[in-house]
Amino acid sequence: MMPRSKLNLRLSQVKNRASLVLLILATLGLSGCAFKKLIYDRLDWVVMYQIDSYLDLDKNQKLKLKPVVTEAISWLKREKVPGAIGTIEKLEEAARRKTYDQNVNSAFTAEIDSIRIDLLKKYETPAVELLLSLTGEQVDYLAKKLSKGNEEIEDILKDKDLSDYDDVLKRQKKTLVEYYGDLTSAQNDSFFTTMRLTREKMELRLKERKRVQAFILDALRSKDKTRITTLIQTFRDHGEVWQDKEYVEYRQVAEKRWEEFLVSFHKSLSDAQWLHLQGKLMETRLDLLRMIGRE
């Protein structure tokens, strides 16, 4: 997340490749020191809550999963977060020099990929066991959650002029503003021009979302250990659960559009925006240091 996700370039796609570490990074964006301390102290609870919100786990499933999550978090803090911190420090230095450093961004991409790959190699067995244990009712619950996520696109498409789409783009823009500060008029126009989808492309997005969701749900309903294991391994190796040619091409086009905008966007940054980015990177690094007890 996606060449793969880059902290200062690929924020939206980090969410699309969610894993334990990415969930942790996302929680660091929540404001309030007291709340962050709660997150650090009860990270296992946060992860369990997120999983349960999609799968509606029963008591026995939670009892089996919780020690796995606790161990995975400890492993992550010990083995992976220190390397990510070092790379974020290099991103800070690049921002200090007001330079887009492709090598450093690639290094951070590799860090995120290695975390996902190693995490799923280490915990593949309990992950498969959890998914195999899901009841038909739990898979239906997941289906409803996934369908709920499609409603925004469906509602936009109901309007002849796609009038609600600007609200979606404004929310996406908040990510840029959070990390870079206020945008100039030219940057704002460039963002909306580049990221606004036509009706045809929005219909394609909805179609591909539904196709990959159907693929996941069908695999879970099959109770086929080989299919479910392959699903997890595919996500581990590629950052996507499905390698259908049409779906992969759709994802690549979407990612390319976002990356091309951001490469151009970095060339337009003001001194104040570079400084803002540097501060946000430092904040993230310090949050991660606190999380692993190295304040």
Q: Note the pLDDT tens digit of each residue in 248-259.
A: 999 899 888 888
pLDDT: is 3 or 263 the higher one?
Answer: 263
pLDDT at residue 41, as a whole number? 67
pLDDT at residue 15, as a whole number? 36
The CA distance from 76 to 226, in Å, is: 27
pLDDT digits (tens, 9 = 90+) for 3-45: 333 334 333 333 343 344 444 444 444 444 544 555 566 788 8
The pTM of the whole model exceeds 0.85 = no
pLDDT tier, 265 (very low <50, low <70, confident <90, very high otherwise): very high
pLDDT at residue 124, as a whole number? 95
Are the beta carbons of 96 and 216 closer than 8 angstroms? no
- Cβ atoms < 10 Å from Cβ of 95: 26
pLDDT at residue 52, as a whole number? 94
Instruction: Name the token pair of 41.
Output: 């102290």
Instruction: Name the token pair of 4.
Output: 């793969």
Are the beta carbons of 208 and 250 closer than 8 angstroms? yes
pLDDT at residue 37, as a whole number? 56
Instruction: Name the token pair of 59.
Output: 């008591």
- Amino acid (one-letter) located at 249: E
The CA distance from 175 to 246, in Å, is: 29
pLDDT tier, 206 (very low <50, low <70, confident <90, very high otherwise): very high
Are the beta carbons of 186 and 268 closer than 8 angstroms? yes
Give 195: exposed, middle or buried? Use CB within 10 Å, 0-12, 13-18, 19+.
Answer: middle
List C-alpha distances in Å: 57 to 19, 53, 134, 219.
Answer: 18, 8, 8, 18
Q: Which of 100, 80, 82 has the alpha carbon at shortest distance from 7?
A: 100
The CA distance from 132 to 220, in Å, is: 7
pLDDT digits (tens, 9 = 90+) for 33-79: 544 555 566 788 888 998 999 999 999 999 999 999 999 999 999 99
Ranking 21-30, 120-129, 178-187 by mean pLDDT, the lowest is 21-30
pLDDT at residue 105, as a whole number? 79
Average pLDDT, the chain: 85
pLDDT digits (tens, 9 = 90+) for 136-171: 999 999 999 999 999 999 999 998 888 888 899 999
